[in-house]
Amino acid sequence: MKTIGLIGGMSWQSSMEYYRIINETVRDRLGGHHSAKIIMYSVDFAEIEPLQHQGRWEEASRLMIAAARKVENGGADFLIICTNTMHKMADAVQKHIDIPLLHIADATAEKIKAKHLRKIGLLGTRFTMEENFYKGRLIEKHCLDVIIPNEQERESVHRVIYDELCLGEIKPSSKTQYIRIIDNLVGDGAEGIILGCTEIGLLVGEEDSQVPLFDTTKIHAIAAVEYALGPDYS
């Protein structure tokens, strides 16, 4: 079993889900008392969040690179970043380490393509929905047709993530709002919806949508297990 390297803490609520899903998946595939070999570096999100909203991405990149090096030096065989938004600097991180980085968008796109879907709705932070580092990768590398909510809906999705989900607050009113936004994307032709923020799966699930939901936290965590165990346990 390879040792999984995690950069977490963005937020710790979703990082906790990563840890749970990874260990439960290893247990299910290997049986007995098996659990995953993991090295995690968890950042202080209060240092990261203002850099995001102030557009200070170079400073955020330096923090991520430093965290990745600590994980690598700790003995990890590969790395995952437990957040969608901070994949904005995934390429920069990969250039500064000698172990592979498993990209969350690639893992998600493979699940979408396995279901033979093409037109996909994307929910996430404003950065993930609007900027090219994520949406562009899905379009250019994986040939998906990606649609996003309108401007007002994007602001609502973003606000709920930072003001509620990252703080561990789960509000029924916000769930209702998200379901309505998902329904609107389906009305615009979305064949599936990417939950492109690792906290969104805490709020909505498969039962809340008439089309498949792709929970990036679960997909990324299971992809890490498959890489750690190799093809014999996939």
Which entry of 128, 197, 216, 217 is annotated as an active-site residue?
Answer: 197
What pLDDT was estimated at residue 138? 97
Residue extents of the structural domains in the chain: 4-103+218-233, 105-215
Residue 191, phi then psi, degrees to nearest 5:
-90, -10
82 is catalytic: no
- Its CATH architecture, for the domain 105-215, is 3-Layer(aba) Sandwich (3.40)
Take residue 201 and report the two structure tokens written for it: 């799966």
Of residues 31, 62, 93, 59, the one with CA closest to residue 229:
31
- Bridge partners (DSSP) listed for residue 7: 41, 81
Instruction: Please write the tens of the pLDDT for every residue from 65-118.
Output: 999 999 999 999 999 999 999 999 999 999 999 999 999 999 999 999 999 999
Instruction: Please write the tens of the pLDDT for every residue from 184-211.
Output: 999 999 999 999 999 999 999 999 999 9
In the chain, what is the greatest distance between 2 CA atoms, to the nearest angstrom? 49
83 is catalytic: yes
* Residue 234 pLDDT exceeds 70: no
What pLDDT was estimated at residue 72? 98
The Cα 57–Cα 61 span in angstroms is 6
As a CATH number, domain 4-103+218-233 is 3.40.50.1860
Establish whether domains 4-103+218-233 and 105-215 are of one fold: yes
Which entry of 25, 83, 125, 198 is annotated as an active-site residue?
Answer: 83
Instruction: Please write the tens of the pLDDT for every residue from 165-177.
Output: 999 999 999 999 9
Q: Cα angle at 218 between 214 and 220, to 5 degrees? A: 95
* Chain mean position to CA 60: 17
For 203, residues 6+ apart whose C-beta sits below 8 A from its C-beta are 160, 165, 170, 174, 175, 178
Take residue 34 and report the two structure tokens written for it: 């098996």
